[in-house]
Amino acid sequence: MGDHCSGIPMASSNTHDPPGAGSSDDLTGLKILVVEDSWNVGKAIRDLLELLGADVAGPAATMGEAEHLLSECAPDVALVDFHLRGGEPSYALIARLHEQGVPVIILSGSFEFPPLPSVEGATFLVKPVSEAELLANLRPLVAKKATR
């Protein structure tokens, strides 16, 4: 459970190609928090992101779980479902992530997003999200992290 963001190098990290080499789908080194109330959707997203080299925390299904993961590690980006378990809205979490300077990609099953200040500046993706769509939004963050 506590292995995320602990900085333990993976065996392959020493032999990794230099940045810019290999697949453009590479998300190596990107720490991603996944907040999604559907276990199957969350697990599928996590498996995909880990396959691409990302360090994934979650999926968290509730605000409490998400807050716990956030307290353990600061992610580079968060994928947050708009409505969590029991219809719980994720506005407060999104606002907190913004305060911490964490880019947020909001996932939702509907096109209707309330015009709330906490969601301004976030990227909205409507589920089901394609792998290409997800990558198009995550790749620039890998580049940004590399230049930090």
pLDDT digits (tens, 9 = 90+) for 99-120: 999 999 998 876 665 556 566 7
- Give me the sheet containing 55-60, strands edge to edge: 55-60, 31-35, 77-81, 104-108, 123-126
- 120-138 mean pLDDT: 86
Does the predicted TM-score (pTM) go above 0.85? no
**pLDDT (tens digit per residue) in 25-74:** 689 999 999 999 999 999 999 999 999 999 999 999 999 999 999 999 89
Structural domains of the chain in order of their starting residue, each with its CATH number: 26-147 (3.40.50.2300)
Instruction: Decide: 30 and 55 in contact? Cβ < 8 Å.
Output: yes
Query: Which residue shows structure tokens 């032999």?
Result: 15
